[in-house]
């Protein structure tokens, strides 16, 4: 085997080949994964297309307050007579946008910082401690800290989600950096004179991609947790703007009059989280356990 | 073991030191001048500067930081300028309640998670395992604020069996106290139980691949004896670490659960103080929760290393 071949077909490429080499159809044959993907796609589309799908504006008040489901209002109405189906769709939209923006930003930052730890020993130590500190602020404690600095709102939710994800992705890619450094293909790449940055980005990153993909799906589900938690206690998206967390919070006072107020947002949150987790489980089974 | 501890503890202390600087920095980055808030809405510029001096906010930042840290280390957390009482009193009064909630949740998480993990790891019945796996996946997918609302709907509104919210100390009145405790503790425990179940079953299955289990089977040991005496003791230590992290997560999760069940705890205090811009209180509470998290992690790491000598190497 020549040196170039060794750098181009690293030993763990077989794992990734499942995805790349036309393996998507094989991946989708896993019932867990396809079920999860179906759930996620339907809910994300429902959120993105909310302005088209919603029968009414989420802010329009009506004469019927706390009505039970009917043909006009599939999920009933809230205390101001607003259509709950529309509010759940817009709440979903809020959650989907917040998570789809914040998780990739946090993941990217984490991956870059994690890769940087492969540049120098002292940098690795600094970055390790940085991640330790970030991890000691658990999700909602981080949320309180962020809300204290920039004030509560949708931005605080997104910043929190991004920050919480930085050490998670950073740790994963760092363990790939440490694990792959001794491998032959990295040694070979060093031998033919590749720079450190090139080795990290071109060789180590692609080989450490599988756990990152699984983490991404898991992070999407925890992001929904974080949005709901922060909005529920009033640090996140605040009424009258609908989000899945703020809708649930609003329903609390009217559970006796109209339980349907809570059922819509509860189902949306649970199905969305379940979808992301099924995807993560399916990906774990096909990418990591071999 | 001592050498491992000597390496592990300083790094935990370093993390705490940096975290304290971050928390202190947060107060100064925060929008709003504490002195203006403390002086009241109609205070003149002179009163504000007097208050600023009185609170020590005109001192150089490093000095303020050291004063605060010195106070924290000696148990003097300063005064809440919104409520006009010492922060230590505020926290001390409410410390029993979150402890009660966390302990209740830990007990439920260990019981439910342990049972489910055991079923997933060793049970042979397909139906039982399938049902447990589905229940675990669902418990993992339902955030505490959904399970909390659901529990209230079913047990407090549809069937009036349990109170929808509030708190009676379990120590003062066990029978009534447990009724107030069970729903919030369950909402907090479910995700942790699911995580524990997953890790326990994976850990058990990994142990089952080891030679000493095969030898046990080969020499004719009963399956129950293999599971209880050989597989479990070796499968538990990694799960212990996960339990430590989960308890740490509960500190944050409790903020939401306390809000749902009107449970008077540290989480409520943080949110109330944040909303009334009572920054000193938030600052101290943040440091306390972060410290508890780091201490929990360090203790579980040390325990793990104590029972598994391989970890002390590296």
The DSSP annotation for A241-280 comes to S--HHHHHHHHGGGTTT-THHHHHHHHHHHHHHHHHHHHH
Asked whether residue A19 carries a pLDDT value surpassing 60, the answer given is no
Can you list the alpha helix ranges (DSSP code H) found in chain A?
A: 3-8, 13-20, 24-28, 31-48, 50-53, 84-116, 121-136, 139-150, 154-180, 184-191, 196-198, 205-207, 209-232, 244-251, 260-283
Contacts of A221 in chain B (CB under 8 A): 141
Asked whether residue A289 carries a pLDDT value surpassing 90, the answer given is no
Contacts of B197 in chain A (CB under 8 A): none
Q: What percent of chain B has pLDDT over 70?
A: 97
Task: Give the residue from B144, B159, B168, B90 showing the smallest Cα distance to B259.
Answer: B144
For B:29-88, CB contacts with A below 8 A are 29-31
Residue A268 pLDDT = 92
CA distance B274 to A152: 10
pTM: predicted TM-score of the whole model, two decimal places: 0.87
Q: Which residues, other chains included, contact A49 with Cβ-Cβ below 8 Å and sequence gap of 6+?
A: none
Asked whether residue A17 carries a pLDDT value surpassing 50, the answer given is no
Asked whether residue B314 carries a pLDDT value surpassing 80, the answer given is no
Asked whether residue A216 carries a pLDDT value surpassing 70, the answer given is yes
Torsion sign (Cα): A122, A124, A129, A130? positive
DSSP state of A70: -
Residue B72 structure tokens = 């924290």
Lowest mean pLDDT among A14-18, A44-48, A162-166, A205-209: A14-18
Residue A160 pLDDT = 96
Lowest mean pLDDT among A219-228, B161-170, B292-301: B161-170
Asked whether residue B44 carries a pLDDT value surpassing 90, the answer given is no
Highest mean pLDDT among A163-172, A276-285, B53-62: A163-172
Residue A104 pLDDT = 96
Asked whether residue B157 carries a pLDDT value surpassing 90, the answer given is no
Residue A154 pLDDT = 92
Which of A132, A231, A289 is the best mutation test for B, with the most CBs of B within 10 A? A132
- pLDDT tier at A261, thresholds 50, 70, 90: confident
- pLDDT tier at A12, thresholds 50, 70, 90: very low
Residue A190 pLDDT = 84
Using the CB atoms, write b or e for B151-168: b if 16+ within 10 Å: bbbebbeeeeebbbbebb
- pLDDT tier at A13, thresholds 50, 70, 90: very low
pLDDT in tens, B75-93: 777 777 777 777 777 777 7
Highest mean pLDDT among A5-14, B170-179, B292-301: B292-301
| ipTM value | 0.86
Residue B49 pLDDT = 82
Asked whether residue A8 carries a pLDDT value surpassing 60, the answer given is no
Asked whether residue A16 carries a pLDDT value surpassing 50, the answer given is no
Highest mean pLDDT among A253-267, B31-45, B91-105: A253-267
pLDDT in tens, B232-291: 888 888 888 889 889 988 888 889 999 999 888 888 888 888 888 787 888 888 898 899
Q: Provide DSSP, B165-228.
A: S----TTT-HHHHHHHHHHHHHHHHHHHHHHHHHHHHHHHHHHHTSHHHHHHHHTT--HHHIII
For B:3-32, CB contacts with A below 8 A are 11, 14-16, 18-19, 22-23, 26-27, 29-31
Q: Do A262 and B140 touch (CB under 8 A)?
A: no
Residue A27 pLDDT = 66
- pLDDT tier at A9, thresholds 50, 70, 90: very low
What average pLDDT does range A36-44 have in this prediction? 93
Contacts of A255 in chain B (CB under 8 A): 149, 152-153, 157
Residue B163 pLDDT = 86
Residue B301 pLDDT = 87
Lowest mean pLDDT among A141-155, A257-271, B44-58, B264-278: B44-58
Cα-trace Rg, chain A: 23
What average pLDDT does range A12-22 have in this prediction? 44
- Per-chain mean pLDDT for chain B: 85
Contacts of A148 in chain B (CB under 8 A): 26-27, 30, 274, 279, 282
What average pLDDT does range B86-101 have in this prediction? 78
Asked whether residue B40 carries a pLDDT value surpassing 60, the answer given is yes
Residue B257 pLDDT = 92
CA distance A221 to A36: 12
End-to-end CA distance of chain A: 25
Asked whether residue A71 carries a pLDDT value surpassing 90, the answer given is no
Query: What structural domains does chain B harbor?
Result: 93-263 (1.10.3720.10)
Residue A180 structure tokens = 């792959």
Nearest to B143 among A133, A225, A252 (CB): A225
């Amino acid at each position: 085997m020549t040196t170039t071949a060794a750098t181009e077909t690293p030993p763990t490429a077989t794992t990734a080949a499942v995805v790349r080499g036309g393996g998507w159809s094989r991946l989708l044959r896993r019932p867990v994964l396809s079920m999860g993907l179906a759930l996620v796609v339907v809910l994300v589309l429902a959120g993105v297309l909310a302005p088209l799908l919603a029968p009414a504006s989420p802010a329009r008040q009506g004469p019927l307050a706390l009505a039970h489901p009917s043909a006009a209002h599939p999920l009933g109405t809230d205390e101001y007579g607003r259509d709950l189906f529309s509010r759940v769709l817009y709440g979903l939209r809020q959650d989907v946008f917040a998570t789809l923006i914040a998780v990739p930003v946090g993941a990217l930052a984490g991956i870059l910082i994690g890769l940087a730890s492969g540049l120098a020993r002292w940098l690795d130590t600094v970055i390790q401690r940085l991640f330790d500190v970030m991890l000691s602020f658990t999700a909602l404690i981080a949320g309180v800290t962020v809300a204290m600095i920039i004030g509560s709102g949708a931005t605080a939710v997104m910043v929190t989600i991004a920050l919480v994800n930085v050490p998670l992705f950073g740790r994963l890619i760092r363990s790939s950096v440490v694990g792959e450094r001794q491998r032959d293909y990295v040694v070979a790449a060093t031998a033919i004179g590749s720079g450190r940055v090139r080795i990290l980005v071109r060789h180590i990153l692609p080989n450490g991609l599988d756990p990152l993909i699984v983490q991404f799906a898991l992070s999407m589900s925890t992001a929904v947790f974080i949005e709901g938690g922060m909005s529920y206690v009033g640090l996140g998206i605040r009424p009258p703007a609908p989000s899945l967390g703020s809708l649930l919070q609003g329903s609390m006072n009217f559970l006796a009059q109209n339980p349907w107020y809570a059922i819509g947002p509860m189902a949306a949150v649970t199905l969305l989280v379940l979808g992301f987790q099924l995807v993560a489980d399916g990906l774990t089974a096909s990418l990591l356990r071999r | 073991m001592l050498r491992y501890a000597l390496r592990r503890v300083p790094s935990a202390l370093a993390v705490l030191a940096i975290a304290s600087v971050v928390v202190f920095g947060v107060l100064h980055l925060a929008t709003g001048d504490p002195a203006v808030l403390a002086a009241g809405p109609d205070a003149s510029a002179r009163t504000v500067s007097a208050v600023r001096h009185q609170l020590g906010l005109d001192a150089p930042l490093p000095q303020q930081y050291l004063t605060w840290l010195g106070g924290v280390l000696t148990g003097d957390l300063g005064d809440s300028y919104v409520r006009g009482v010492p922060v230590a009193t505020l926290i001390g009064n409410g410390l029993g309640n979150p402890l009660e909630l966390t302990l209740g949740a830990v007990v439920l998480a260990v019981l439910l998670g342990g049972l489910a993990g055991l079923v997933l790891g060793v049970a042979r019945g397909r139906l039982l395992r399938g049902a447990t796996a589905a229940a675990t996946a669902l418990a993992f997918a339902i955030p505490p604020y959904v399970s909390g609302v659901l529990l209230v709907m079913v047990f407090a509104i549809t069937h009036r069996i349990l109170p929808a919210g509030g708190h009676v100390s379990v120590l003062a009145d066990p029978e009534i106290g447990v009724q107030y405790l069970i729903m919030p503790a369950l909402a907090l425990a479910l995700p942790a139980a699911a995580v524990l179940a997953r890790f326990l079953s994976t850990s058990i299955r990994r142990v089952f691949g080891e030679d000493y289990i095969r030898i046990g089977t080969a020499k004719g040991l009963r399956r129950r004896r293999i599971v209880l005496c050989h597989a479990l003791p070796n499968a538990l230590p990694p799960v212990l670490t996960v339990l430590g992290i989960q308890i740490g997560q509960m500190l944050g999760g409790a903020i939401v659960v306390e809000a749902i069940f009107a449970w008077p705890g540290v989480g409520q205090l943080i949110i109330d103080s944040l909303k009334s811009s009572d920054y000193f209180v938030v600052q101290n509470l943040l440091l306390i929760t972060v410290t508890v998290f780091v201490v929990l992690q360090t203790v579980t790491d040390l325990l793990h290393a104590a029972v598994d000598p391989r970890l002390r190497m590296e």
